Amino acid sequence: MTKWTAIVLTCANKNSSIAYQKELELKKKKNLIDQETLIICIEDPERPIGSGGATLNALLVVSEALCAKKKLKLTVIDELKDKYILIMHMGRQYPFDLISKGFCTLPIQNQETNDLLNNFDLLYNTITYQIANFENETFKSDPGIYVCSTDMIFSIPQNEKILINDKSICVISSLAPREISKKNGIYNMQNDKYHVQNIYFQPDDDILSKSSSVDGLYNLVSGIVYLDYEVTKILFNLIIYPPMDACSYIGIDSGASPVSLSLFFDILLACCGGIDKEQYLNGQFKTNLPAFSNRAAVLKQCRLTLWNNLHHFKIHNITVSRHVKHVYMDNETFLHRKLILDSIGSYFEENSKIKKPIQKMLHCLIEDSKINSNDNPTLINCFITKCNLNIENDVYILNCDFKSSKISIGSNTCITDLKMVNEIRTIPSNLFIQNIDINLECLSTSVNLNLVFGIGDDLSKIFNSTDWTILNKNMSEFTLLTSIVEKDLWPDEISDKTLSNAKLYPVLNSNLNSEEMSYLRKYFWIDLKNSKTLNENLVKKWKQSYRYSLEDLSSIINLEEMFQKRRYIFNKANIDYLVKSVVENRPIQFNSILRNSIRDGFANEILTYFDQISLKHANDLVRLPRIMVFISNTLCEMAHNYSTIRSGPSLNLNWTNAFQQIENGQIEQALYELSKERKNWLDRDDLLIRASRHYEGAMLAFIRQATTNFKNLSSKISLKNLDNTKYRDFTWVQASCPARLDLAGAWSDTPPITYECPGGSCVTNLAILVNNEKPIGAKARVLKETKENSFFVKIIMQDSANLTDELTQVSFVFSEIDDFRDYNKPQAVGCLVKAALVFTKLIELNEQSLHDQLSKKLNGSLELCTWTGLPHGSGLGTSSILVACVLKIVWFLMGIEVSNETLSYSTLLVEQLMTTNGGWQDQVGGIWGGFKLTQAKNQLPLEINVKELKISQEFKDAINKRLILIYTGLTRLAKDLLLNVLRNWYAISSEIYKNVTELVKNGFKCANSLENEDIVEFGKCVDRHRKQKLVMAPGSEPESVVNLIKLLDPLVYGMALAGAGGGGFLYAITKEADSKDEIRNLLETFNVNMKIYDAKISDDGIEMKFF
């Protein structure tokens, strides 16, 4: 996708440029701005240089930056050719959000990140995706300079796109009625439908009557301008020489006095066809911005230069539809409140980047608090804890932090950025209050104060104008109440007196201690009473104080501190929302919210919250694994450069103590140990990702604890003494099993899905012979011989039951108890057999020697041989079924008889001991023969019910003739797939939850198709199962398998990779009987590494033999 080469913000001063740079870099970290885009925030070299001067200075700076990036020794304009450059002017101060109009918080959220949006975000999205059209390569605007003012709300409906092609200069306008047009600027299109003839600022009725209109609507200037490379090149060449250099840093650094140029009424006006040269040079249009009297000659010279170089260009106007939302952010308190409260919601309902229109309460954390109000107040990004609020009608509260306070707020009041702790406070009606931090060089510190205006005050209105007010009162009323007069508010040198330059705000007073001064800064204007007498002492302190005006404060505001305070409140609510969603199992966009909170610098707070909540739920084995996986996600997101490398080992010795506590059931202690050890792994990305893996290991450990909850229930594990005297003449006892094909519903049997899935889980599977054999088995015998006078355990591993050649066998001898302590490490030699021996208690990990235990229980050594006549990673349930075989023969040698049900539950427990965390359907598939429908309720302890499906021999024969088993030549990695599935499950992905529900339904459908003996529907269920498994584990069909599926598709009713996917065997139900030879011939030309195995239904399951 196309991206911005550079984004340039022009700022009023260095203080703001530094703060805005950090904000944009943060947006870049959150991927809201492309990583390759160059961010430049620059202060105007001097004030005033105007929007035109700021644009020219930005062109110069961005050209230099791009040349420097390429290590060029000279600045050349060629670096701007074919580039997309966005210049955004942060403009004049905005009294209702001193951070700026551009970063004014709006009560709407980003759909992808959950962030509250500000005006920069809205304008950026509009220009990027609906004017430059970066997401549409076939409908993309030309490269060039895109300039945008941030003093407006501007949003285009989602389905409307603007295309700028083959235009030298292009402006965007919206249609506005007469009253709005008179207060702002318009483009006059008279006698030319597409090109601007003149530009008017605040036109009167006479001008409007002569201007172009559409149904009484005029072309309102939007503040968005496009300049192509040819125009840019001319402007660049002009700015490096006098007189034009006086509006760039080059001229200022060369000693020139600054010249103020307007982008619209100086630069663009020079291109208008409806004015002549003399009128333009002299600024004779009364609606044009006047020339500055002290710089008239220089300004006229600049205009002459612009006219001579630009007048041959035409300005193309694009008028957006009447559905556009375009409002200027004025200095009237009432209009600001109306803009935020009444208009924002409807403005952005159609914008694709917006999640929600305005809400009465958005992104707030309210704890242990009582809010009393007849009318729901508007609360945006607030943290309110242990408070009692009494709120009257029409109250707007934004970015506020209230703790342990009792606050009464009058009607029609707006409060932003205010923090109150342990206060009892009454806030009057009809006020606008913003709390700000300012930097005082004389104190070398930052102090806090409240800006206060009346809701009806116009801050730019000249004193003594009609309807001029201060705190909603005319000057006479105000003086009568406070004894404050005109000379108290304005020094003599100020001529145009407004509330913006009135010295309203007390900052320093040497007669007051720090507590008194702090109170005066924050509450003087709020606590004024309706009595001159009551106010006398307070006003006296105010008059004695050194005071600042709003204009004074705007240059010393601590923007970084204010941004951080807003982030703090936002992330407090974010983290609380995350944690509660995890605990309550609510669907959320966890990773994007988590990622942005971490980028905001709140990783430690997130981890602390999760630690606290895990301890609170230490006895809840359903919630604990979910909390562990989200701690793992947090650590993973903190490891920025390693965040995609999730899977890996989790048995580092430093974490052993914590895991041992989990296995011992000491959950609270385990959680403390996990948190304690984690602190040693936070320094580097590689350590963070390793810590993340250990928390996933903790997740699996807690799942094992939940899954094994039934181990003490005798109804599930039933062991009977066996009279095996009639078998004493036999040397070997052997158990063999068929392999398993999962036909439908697989993954629903996997803990925790099996006990959390609404409605329970269900799997239909089949026992099969492979190459006419039961391919999985084990045999054992008791040896009277000893090794160095001690009994031992000998484990032999071979490829099939018929091998007797010792050269093809791998054997290991264990003679010490300590040899079995690694039974829970899947990579350990003989792990599967060791875990089974420990589970049956043939071997107990206590102080008794191995010799004594074997002597007591077997009266001899144990020799045990295992085999699977299948490739490694087959997907046919091999390891689980092999566990069942080992358990069967070991218990037999111990004189114990077990049912299939006991064997199935016990296999599940052994797999938990081995820490492989498998489900229950594999062993069910091999222990019972034929087709089975197996169900489990969504509960703990688990309860598994197996139903053997009754199928006629004729239908079995039909399936046998159509069942194809193909080894893909690829080895699957089941545990990696399992971890990905569990991550998605715990992320409460709606797609995964819906898919699991469909998996379960398909399990029942498949069983019904078999009982109805409908082979076509049976094939459809198998094919549906394949697609559902792909949703659970995306990417689990390698490219060669995808190509194989395409090859076989015309020939089969359905097919799927066996098991979790990723490789192993693929099975298919062919449309025609006896198609094996045809498919074998296809494979020979398709992939020589793929091989057909013979497969057919095994009517019986586990089988015992003695010899």
3-state secondary structure 609-621: HHHHHHHHCCCCC
Per 3-state DSSP, what percentage of the chain is helix, strand, and coil (rounded to 5)?
40, 20, 35
Cβ atoms 382, 400 nearer than 8 A: yes
Contact criterion met (CB below 8 Å) for 362 and 379: yes
For helices 667-678 and 656-663, what crossing angle results, to 10°?
A: 160
Provide mean pLDDT across the span 875-879. 94
Q: Name which residue leads in pLDDT, 320 or 375.
A: 320
Least confident of 290-304, 679-693, 801-815, 860-874: 290-304
Q: Looking at residues 571-596, what average pLDDT do you find?
A: 84
- Shared domain for 583 and 556, answered yes or no, is no
Q: How do beta strands 424-427 and 505-508 pair?
A: unpaired
* The two structure tokens encoding residue 863: 């020799």
Q: How far apart are CA 199 and CA 963, in angstroms?
A: 79
Averaged over 584-594, what is the pLDDT? 78
- pLDDT tier at 357 (50, 70, 90 boundaries)? very low
Which tokens belong to 241? Answer: 């020489």
Rounded to 5 degrees, φ, ψ at 224 are -110, 125
- Summarize pLDDT for 1068-1107 with one digit per residue, the tens: 999 999 999 999 999 988 877 899 999 999 999 999 999 8
Q: pLDDT tens digit string along 975-1008?
A: 667 888 888 888 877 888 899 999 999 999 999 9
In the chain, the percentage of residues whose pLDDT exceeds 90 is 66
715: confidence class by pLDDT, cuts 50, 70, 90: low
Domain assignment of residue 340, given as a range: 334-560
pLDDT, mean of residues 283-302: 60
pLDDT of residue 886: 98
| Residue located via tokens 């699996």 | 700
Model confidence band, residue 26 (pLDDT cutoffs 50, 70, 90): very high
| H or E segment and range at residue 577 | helix 559-583
- Grouping H, G, I as helix, E, B as strand and the rest as coil, residue 538 is helix
Q: How many other CB atoms are there within 10 angstroms of residue 649's CB atom?
A: 12
Looking at residue 557, its amino acid is I
pLDDT at 15 over 50: yes
Please check whether residues 532 and 600 belong to one and the same domain.
Answer: no
> Which pLDDT score is estimated for 925?
97
Average pLDDT of the residues in 589-606: 88
- Asked whether residue 720 is assigned to any structural domain, the reply reads no
Asked if residues 55 and 226 have their Cβ atoms less than 8 Å apart, the reply is: no
369 vs 382, 388, 528, 545, CA distance in Å? 12, 6, 28, 37
Sequence-distant (≥ 6) Cβ neighbours of residue 1100 within 8 angstroms: 767, 929, 930
Helix or strand holding residue 1023 (H, E): helix 1015-1032
User: In whole angstroms, what is the distance from residue 567 CA to residue 27 CA?
Assistant: 13
> What are the distances in angstroms from CA 677 to CA 659, 660, 705, 1085?
11, 14, 21, 55
Same domain, 502 and 634: no
The CA–CA distances, whole Å, from 304 to 52, 308, 803 equal 15, 6, 100
Among the candidates 282, 301, 333, a domain finishes at 333
Among the listed residues 84, 53, 81, the one whose alpha carbon sits nearest the alpha carbon of residue 67: 81
Q: Domain with 1022 in it: what CATH number?
A: 3.30.70.890
> Strands, E, within 443-528: which ranges?
445-454, 505-508
Q: Is residue 338 part of a domain?
A: yes
Q: Are residues 746 and 818 in the same domain?
A: yes
User: How far, in Å, CA of 797 to CA of 774, rounded?
Assistant: 17
Q: 617 with 650, same domain? A: yes
Please give the model's pTM, rounded to 2 decimal places. 0.83
Query: Among 148-162, 354-368, 884-898, 1075-1089, which is the least confidently predicted range?
Result: 354-368
Split at pLDDT 50, 70, 90, the class of 299 is confident
- Assess whether pLDDT exceeds 70 at residue 288: no
- Asked whether residue 1079 is assigned to any structural domain, the reply reads yes
Q: Helix, strand, or coil here: 74? A: coil
Q: What is the three-class DSSP state of 908? A: helix
pLDDT at 149 > cutoff 70: yes
Question: Which residue, 929, 948, 967, sits at the end of a domain?
Answer: 948
Do 737 and 655 lie in a common domain? Answer: no
Three-class DSSP category at 853:
helix
**What pLDDT sits at residue 972?**
64
Res 868 pLDDT > 80: yes
Q: Where are the beta strands (DSSP E) in 799-879?
A: 810-814, 861-868
Assess whether pLDDT exceeds 80 at residue 973. Answer: no
Q: Quick check: is 718 in a domain?
A: no
Q: Return the pLDDT at 346.
A: 44
Tens-digit pLDDT profile for residues 221-276: 999 999 999 999 999 999 988 999 998 999 999 988 888 899 999 999 999 989 99
The Cα–Cα gap between 473 and 900 comes to 88
| Number of neighbouring beta carbons within 10 Å of residue 312 | 8
Residues 669 and 777 in one domain: no
User: In this structure, is residue 724 part of a structural domain?
Assistant: no
Question: Which residue shows structure tokens 């007069």?
Answer: 485
How crowded is residue 1080: how many other Cβ atoms within 10 Å of its Cβ?
Answer: 14
pLDDT recorded at residue 352: 42
Q: For the chain, what is the radius of gyration of the CA atoms?
A: 38
Element (H, E) at 224: strand 218-227
pLDDT of residue 857: 92
Query: Strand 776-783 and strand 861-868: pairing?
Result: antiparallel
Q: What are phi and psi of 9, to 5 degrees?
A: -105, 125
Contacts of 320 (CB under 8 A, 6+ apart): 156, 160, 162, 172, 173, 174, 222, 326
pLDDT at 963 over 90: yes
- pLDDT tens profile 906-939: 999 999 888 888 899 999 999 999 999 999 999 8
Q: What percent of the chain has pLDDT over 70?
A: 93
Pairwise CA distance, residues 612 & 628, whole Å: 12
Name the domain boundary from 333, 354, 389. Answer: 333
CB contact at 8 A, 415 and 398: yes
Gap between the Cα atoms of 865 and 857, Å rounded: 19
State the pLDDT at residue 975.
Answer: 61
Sheet holding 424-427: strands in order across? 370-373, 388-391, 406-409, 424-427
- Judging by beta carbons within 10 Å of its beta carbon (0-12, 13-18, 19+), is residue 485 exposed, middle or buried? exposed
Q: 454: number of CA atoms within 13 Å, CB side?
A: 15
Burial of 493 (0-12, 13-18, 19+ CB in 10 A): exposed
Residues near 716 by beta carbon (within 8 Å), at least 6 away in sequence: 710, 901, 902, 905, 941
Distance of alpha carbon 698 from its chain centroid, rounded?
A: 24
Q: Is the pLDDT of residue 967 over 90?
A: yes
Flag whether pLDDT at 728 surpasses 60. Answer: no
Q: Which residues contact 942 (CB under 8 A, 6 or more apart)?
A: 707, 709, 710, 751, 754, 755, 905, 908, 920, 936
Residue among 32, 198, 188 at smallest CA distance from 111: 32
CA atoms within 13 Å, Cβ hemisphere of 1072? 10
CB-based burial label for 826 (10 Å; 0-12, 13-18, 19+) = middle
Amino acid 356: pLDDT: 43
Supply the pLDDT for residue 444: 74
Q: Which two tokens stand for residue 66?
A: 């791009």
Mean pLDDT to the nearest integer, 308-313: 96
Whether residues 226 and 338 share a domain: the answer is no
Residues 1056, 1059, 1062, 1063, CA torsion sign: negative
Helix-helix angle 296-310:229-239, to 10 degrees: 150
Q: Cα–Cα distance between 551 and 94 in angstroms, integer? A: 10
Same domain, yes or no: 530 and 600: no
How far is it, in rounded angstroms, from Cα 785 to Cα 789? 8
Upstream peptide bond of 243 is cis (omega within 30 degrees of 0): yes
Please give the average per-residue pLDDT across 430-458, as a whole number: 89
Q: Are residues 509 and 575 in the same domain?
A: no
Q: Are strands 144-149 and 84-89 parallel, antiparallel or unpaired?
A: parallel
Tell me how many domains the chain contains.
Answer: 5
Which of the four pLDDT bands, split at 50, 70 and 90, describes residue 529?
Answer: confident
Distance separating alpha carbons of residues 1028 and 1023, to the nearest angstrom = 9
Rounded distance between C-alpha atoms, residue 527 and residue 111, angstroms: 41
The CATH number assigned to the domain holding 801 equals 3.30.230.10
Convert 950-1016 into a string of H (helix), E (strand) and C (coil): CCCHHHHHHHHHHEEEEECCCCCCHHHHHHHHHHHHHCCCHHHHHHHHHHHHHHHHHHHHHHCCCHH
79 in Cβ contact with 94 (< 8 Å):
no
Q: Are residues 16 and 120 in the same domain?
A: yes
Mean pLDDT estimate for the chain: 89
| pLDDT at 191 > cutoff 90 | no
Structure token pair of residue 1103: 């089988």
Confidence of residue 334 (pLDDT cuts 50, 70, 90): low
Alpha-carbon gap, residue 837 to 493, rounded angstroms: 96
| Alpha helices by DSSP H, 311-404 | 333-338, 344-347
pLDDT of residue 476: 93
What letter would DSSP give residue 640?
G
Assigned domain for 1105 exists: no
794 and 908 in a single domain? The answer is yes
Is 1102 among the domain residues? no
Query: Which residue type sits at 1025?
Result: H
More confident residue, 719 or 322: 322
Residue-level pLDDT at 348:
43
Give me the amino acid identity at 430. N
**Which of 511, 589, 496, 927 lies closest to 738 in space, CA to CA?**
927
